Amino acid sequence: MLTEGQKKLLEELKNSLAKSVSEAKISESDYARTGYHLEFKSSQTGSRRVAKEMKRKQFNLETVTAVDFIDSFEIVYLYFNYYQDNIRVIVRIRVPKNEPPFTISAVYPEAIWLEREVYDFFGIRFKEHPDLRRILNPDDAVYFPLLKNFGKTKITDEIDDMIC
């Protein structure tokens, strides 16, 4: 199902990514099931280095988001290359709650708003971000809505139990 070009690009990517971020875990995944070809897992570091590498390979940033796993955040970057081979790469950076990653907005300007959104909903203060303010929530809000403990009360827990 993978074409020759895709296979070649995947190999190249694996090598170059492994070279730039040595401690990362890189694995291929089932595109038909997950929607991405290559999975890149790393803890704490490497978001900027990966972004630069991706930019060099003419990848496009599709989205930046985060997932709150109670003890840590997982920042998810999705890159897609539609120039030649339609390869989608997912980059997952696990960061502890008190140590935010660096911004990639210098590499991909699109990330300025996307990272603002992530900050707005999770409270992740990207380092060296040019314009880190609230974007969708009110400017004077004191909460981060997409944290798992936001809005949890006894009643919502009961409702969850009921519908599960």
Is the CB of 15 or the CB of 34 nearer to another protein? 34
DSSP-derived letter for residue 143 is: -
**Which is nearer to another protein, 46 or 79 (by Cβ)?**
79
State how far the alpha carbon of 143 is from the alpha carbons of 52, 67, 103, 153, in Å.
32, 16, 22, 15
Q: At 80, list the tokens.
A: 């897609």
Residue among 22 and 154 whose Cβ is closer to another protein: 154
Supply φ then ψ for residue 160, to 5 degrees: -60, -45
Work out how close the CB of 164 gets to another protein at its nearest, in angstroms, rounded to a whole number: 5
Dist. CA 9–CA 59, nearest whole Å? 11
For residues 14 and 134, what is the distance between their CA atoms, to the nearest angstrom?
A: 36
Nearer to another protein, 32 or 142 (CB): 32
**At closest approach, how far in Å is the CB of 22 from another protein?**
25
Give the type of residue at 82: Y
Q: Which residues pair with 26 in a beta bridge?
A: 40
If the CB atoms of residues 45 and 60 are measured against another protein, the closer one turns out to be 60
CA Rg, the chain, in Å? 17
Task: Quote the least distance from Cβ 37 to another protein, whole Å.
Answer: 11
**Shortest distance in whole angstroms from residue 145 CB to another protein:** 5
Residue ranges in contact with another protein by CB under 8 A: 32-36, 60-63, 65, 67-68, 76, 78, 80, 82, 86, 88, 90, 108-110, 112-114, 117, 121, 134-138, 145-146, 148, 150-151, 156, 159-160, 162-164
Return the closest-CA partner of residue 50 out of 35, 34, 61: 61
Q: How far is the CB of 117 from another protein (least distance, A)?
A: 8
